[in-house]
């Protein structure tokens, strides 16, 4: 599933390509979006801005509509020049937004809905701008309070609560806990305030380091990217613990463990030596 860094980069690229441009065409396989376009045509309106809110991507139109999309596991946005060949089949298209210069195509997008500013403020699934780890309104002190307000959750589960730290997904969950030297299975109630602050700071630092500019081309049509939390250039050494079960810890050499966590049974990775539980218990993994 795309995490906050992926959605941030997508929003940034879409904004550069489309913001301030007049919409010349709109198509969608979502019936409600097609109906909205019939009632309030998007062609002729201007796309004013594109932003990310954690794992949600929001497109703001001059007529007041806000298109919110969530990629879940397989969705993606591509940008093409008019006439450029798509890299995925047309059968995977869910949304197309056209301007004179660029065409934005949403492939396999599972969730897409149109909002007004009022309905967006009421929508509980879409986090506020203030909770977005990569947002300009994000305040670490406020995020610490939001995290500590979830005392009964295990730390790994709490990090996936988007209203607390929007943008942190399953990969960053494990990586952030390792960076903060904390066990992902300990309860938030066991954290000291400095430990909670270390978690928030690590989340902010890791996501920010994965959205730095790395191309002279300001409009990137489509390309992959390797996520890094170790700051090492070797793609084989890009992560501390995620997906490294049984491999030696990069700090101490202890084999990395994996265990399913939470009601969604998400994979969690940790080093038992670097990240012991506060009470000294061992966790099978």
Identified catalytic residue from 2, 127, 184, 272: 2
Handedness of CA 8, 14, 17, 20 (dihedral sign): negative
Active site residue 55: yes
Q: Hey, how many other C-beta atoms are within 10 angstroms of the C-beta on 48?
A: 17
Identified catalytic residue from 55, 98, 113, 272: 55
Active site residue 2: yes
The label of the residue with tokens 């904004």 reads: 15
Tell which residue, 101, 96, 11, 106, has the closest CA to residue 51: 11
Active site residue 127: no
Q: What's the CA gap between 180 and 200, in Å, rounded?
A: 9
Alpha helices in 95-210 (DSSP H): 117-122, 140-148, 155-159, 170-179, 193-209
Identified catalytic residue from 3, 51, 113, 175: 3
Question: How much of the chain is helix, strand and coil, in % rounded to 5?
Answer: 30, 20, 50
Tell which residue, 109, 125, 102, 86, has the closest CA to residue 28: 109
DSSP 68-115: EEE-TTT-EEEEE-TTPPPSS-GGGEEEEEE-SS-EEEEES--EEEEE
Q: Please state the separation of Cα 70 from the chain's center in Å.
A: 9
Catalytic residue positions, numbered: 2-3, 55
């Amino acid at each position: 599933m795309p995490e906050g860094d992926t959605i941030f980069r997508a929003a940034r690229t879409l904004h550069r390509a489309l913001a301030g441009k007049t919409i010349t065409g709109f198509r969608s396989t979502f019936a409600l979006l097609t109906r909205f376009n019939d009632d309030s045509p998007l062609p002729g309106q201007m796309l004013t801005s594109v932003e990310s809110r954690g794992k949600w991507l929001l497109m703001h139109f001059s007529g007041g509509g806000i298109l919110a999309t969530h990629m879940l596991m397989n969705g993606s946005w591509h940008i093409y020049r008019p006439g450029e060949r798509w890299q995925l089949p047309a059968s995977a298209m869910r949304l197309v937004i056209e301007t004179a210069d660029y065409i934005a195509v949403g492939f396999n997008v599972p969730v897409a809905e149109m909002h007004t500013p009022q309905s967006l403020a009421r929508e509980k699934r879409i986090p506020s701008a203030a909770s977005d780890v990569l947002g300009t309104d994000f305040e670490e002190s406020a995020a610490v309070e939001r995290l500590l307000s979830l005392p009964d959750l295990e730390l790994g589960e709490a990090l996936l609560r988007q209203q607390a730290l929007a943008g942190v997904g399953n990969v960053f969950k494990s990586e952030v806990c390792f960076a903060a030297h904390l066990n992902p299975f300990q309860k938030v109630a066991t954290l000291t305030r400095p430990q909670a602050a270390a978690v928030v700071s690590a989340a902010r630092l890791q996501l920010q380091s994965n959205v730095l500019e790395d191309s002279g081309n300001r409009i990137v049509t489509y390309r992959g990217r390797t996520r890094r939390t170790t700051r090492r250039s070797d793609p084989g050494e890009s992560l501390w613990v995620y997906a490294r079960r049984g491999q030696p810890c990069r700090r101490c050499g202890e084999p990395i463990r994996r265990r399913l966590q939470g009601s969604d049974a998400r994979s969690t990775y940790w080093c038992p030596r670097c990240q012991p539980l506060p009470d000294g218990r061992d966790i099978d993994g």
